[in-house]
Structure 1
Amino acid sequence: MENYGSESSKGKKRRREEESAAESSDFDQILSLEKSLTFSDTMVALRIMRAQFPQIDKVSIQPFILQSQLYSSVKDRTRVDRDLESLKREKVLRIFKLNTGQDDHAIMFSEDYSSQIERVKKRSQEKKLGNLEVFEWFKTHVIDFKLEPSIEHHELWTLLSLGGKVKDEHISLLINAGLLTRQLIDPNMYWFTIPNIGSILKGISQGRKEVLSLLNRRRYKEMMLASLEKKHLRLSSLDMRFHLRDLIGSGHLKIVQTPTGLVVQVSKD
């Protein structure tokens, strides 16, 4: 009975992912944010935003979604939080704490994160670094077991030890590869991190300021969504759609329906 239940669960999970992917494919080519602003389902929203993640030159990174972007796209925040917790437990995705703001979190599909780990492992191989076995230990024993955004040093050491004899150099390699970073408040704690995200985090912060500055300079601090979306940002490699979803979800901007279309306004303090 246990095997049957497990197979049934796997089948349902696979069907759900296939159905979500099919729904996502219908939207992949939609460029207008006005036509794809809100969704009724968290997984559909995640897959569409994953497909619409901007192509960034000279940065090797898998797509990720900001939690604030989900809040802008799926109106029921309680449902979003509940769905994210469920998808995290099912190991469909991982959630990362970002240093761009107190409540900033990035969401990455687990398969994309696994690919990201393989990329940094390959780069370490090309540099002829030692202790590369730690990448496999990290994927097999740490990532699959520890689903939270942070991990304590002793627990990290214990989980890595399931793969082999751990040395300080192993953990240093994970830090240098961008998979871990020490917490400033407690150096015995690490955040799980997304490799190569540094320049993009800078773009998120600068892009937010640029979009808000653009709107604040306008007479009524507002602009038609269709027109705003076509604006090119100077300080961010991410596109306007990425930033608008973020700023709407975080409450800095709001959308107002008018007879001529959707208008983006700066939210009043």
Structure 2
Amino acid sequence: MNKVTNPETSATGAKKRRREKEEEQVGCSHAENEDGGILSEDQCLLSLQDELNFSDTSVALRMMRSQFPRIDQASVPPFILQSQLYSSVNDRTQVDRELECLRRDKVVRVFKLNTGQDDHAIIFLDDYLNQVDRIVKRMEEKKQSDVEVFKWFKGHVLDSKLEPSIGHDELCSLLSLGGKVKDAHITLLINAGLLTRQLIDPDMYWFAVPSIGKLWKGLLQGRNELLSLLKRRRHKEMFLADLEKRRLRFSPLDMRFHIRDLIGSGHLKTFQTTSGLVVRVSRD
């Protein structure tokens, strides 16, 4: 007798196997060689072509976090642009849905970037809280006062306010759960780079990432440099394998970071040929 297979069970099993394979690929960046040493980035890094087709948003996020470029001049936690997720997970609705779940489960936080465009940075919450702790440690070493507000900010504001922005009254109300709030406390959070005032409404704040402003210029310049490079080509295209080996002069963020960003935002598109994946400037 032929065994009857449940289609739903088979599909679920296939998806689980695929996710496990993706997780193994992400873990490669921390893999050890036979001598017990950590493998170099060149030894275990997948080609970018292999990283443009993930089925799970969480796996894609962790992969991009592990490959975030090391930036000496700015102590910024690894961040992923929402556009980059769109380049690696084909279903944008799925990305938005799964990202919202990760946000509500307090795995990640989403920040609006002040680049003049609709850019959102995604940071794992643990990385962000560690950055807040480093700020407090530096202030304590300088013997600055009112550092208790950072504890209130972590324990009462970040823990309960998950959206990218917050109103002045709500901010004061949440901070007051830790102690008596003074104007100086709000100023301290702003000066530390954890809050920025919205230009349209001064009573509203964006949650912010300290030191990330140093990278805005590089992000914008890198986008322009990459697009300019491709537009100078005869057909405004290059093989992805060749493109990702190029170095950018005006951005501290690497080529992979910018390629993912521009594919996900629709400025670049890819198509498969017998010789490999090609990246082309969108003509829309």
TM over 0.5: yes
Question: Does the 8 A contact of 1:20 with 1:47 survive in 2?
Answer: no
Q: 1:125 to 1:27 in 2, by over 3 A?
A: closer
TM-score of the aligned structures, taking structure 1 as reference length: 0.90
Q: Quick check: 76-85 or 99-108, which moved more?
A: 99-108
Partner of 1:162: 177
Partner of 2:77: 62
Q: For 1:72 and 1:139, how far apart are their aligned partners in 2?
A: 32
Q: For 2:226 and 2:116, how far apart are their aligned partners in 1?
A: 17
Q: For 1:68 and 1:24, how far apart are their aligned partners in 2?
A: 19
Question: Does the 8 A contact of 1:39 with 1:74 survive in 2?
Answer: yes
Q: For 2:25 and 2:280, how far apart are their aligned partners in 1?
A: 30
Q: For 2:22 and 2:176, how far apart are their aligned partners in 1?
A: 37
Q: 1:233 to 1:40 in 2, by over 3 A?
A: same
SS at structure 2 position matched to 1:144: helix
SS at structure 1 position matched to 2:206: strand
- Percent identity, aligned pairs only? 67
Partner of 2:191: 176
TM-score of the aligned structures, taking structure 2 as reference length: 0.85
Q: 1:190 to 1:86 in 2, by over 3 A?
A: same
- Residue 109 of structure 1: which of 124, 138, 146 is its match? 124
Q: CA deviation at 1:200?
A: 1.3
Q: For 1:253 and 1:27, how far apart are their aligned partners in 2?
A: 27
- Residue 26 of structure 1: which of 19, 25, 28 is its match? 28
Residues 1:186 and 2:188 are matched in the alignment: no
Residues 1:124 and 2:139 are matched in the alignment: yes
Structure 1: where are the runs of 5+ without partners? 1-17
SS at structure 1 position matched to 2:74: coil
Q: CA deviation at 1:37?
A: 2.0
When the two chains are superposed, the root-mean-square deviation of aligned CA atoms in Å is 1.6
Q: For 2:240 and 2:185, how far apart are their aligned partners in 1?
A: 49
SS at structure 1 position matched to 2:202: coil
Partner of 1:91: 106
Q: CA deviation at 1:61?
A: 1.4
Aligned residue type for 1:51: S
Q: CA deviation at 1:23?
A: 5.6
Q: For 1:23 and 1:34, how far apart are their aligned partners in 2?
A: 13
SS at structure 2 position matched to 1:178: coil
Q: CA deviation at 1:102?
A: 3.1
Q: 1:47 to 1:197 in 2, by over 3 A?
A: same
Partner of 1:143: 158
Q: CA deviation at 1:130?
A: 1.2
Q: For 1:117 and 1:261, how far apart are their aligned partners in 2?
A: 44
Q: CA deviation at 1:201?
A: 1.7
Aligned residue type for 1:167: K
Residues 1:197 and 2:215 are matched in the alignment: no
Aligned residue type for 1:203: G
Q: For 1:72 and 1:20, how far apart are their aligned partners in 2?
A: 16
Q: CA deviation at 1:169?
A: 0.7
Q: For 1:26 and 1:228, how far apart are their aligned partners in 2?
A: 23
Kindly provide the CA deviation profile for residues 111-151 of structure 1, in whole angstroms up to 9, marking residues without a partner as x: 11111111111222233321100110000000000000000
Question: Does the 8 A contact of 1:66 with 1:246 survive in 2?
Answer: yes
Q: For 1:176 and 1:51, how far apart are their aligned partners in 2?
A: 29
Q: CA deviation at 1:19?
A: 10
Which structure 1 residue ranges, 4+ long, deviate > 4 Å from structure 2? Answer: 18-23
SS at structure 1 position matched to 2:145: coil
Who wins on radius of gyration, i.e. which is larger?
2
Q: For 1:27 and 1:144, how far apart are their aligned partners in 2?
A: 30
Question: Does the 8 A contact of 2:22 with 2:54 survive in 1?
Answer: no
Q: 1:180 to 1:217 in 2, by over 3 A?
A: same
Aligned residue type for 1:214: L
Aligned residue type for 1:209: N
Aligned residue type for 2:155: T
SS at structure 2 position matched to 1:94: strand
Q: For 2:242 and 2:73, how far apart are their aligned partners in 1?
A: 28
Count of matched residue pairs: 252
Aligned residue type for 2:220: S
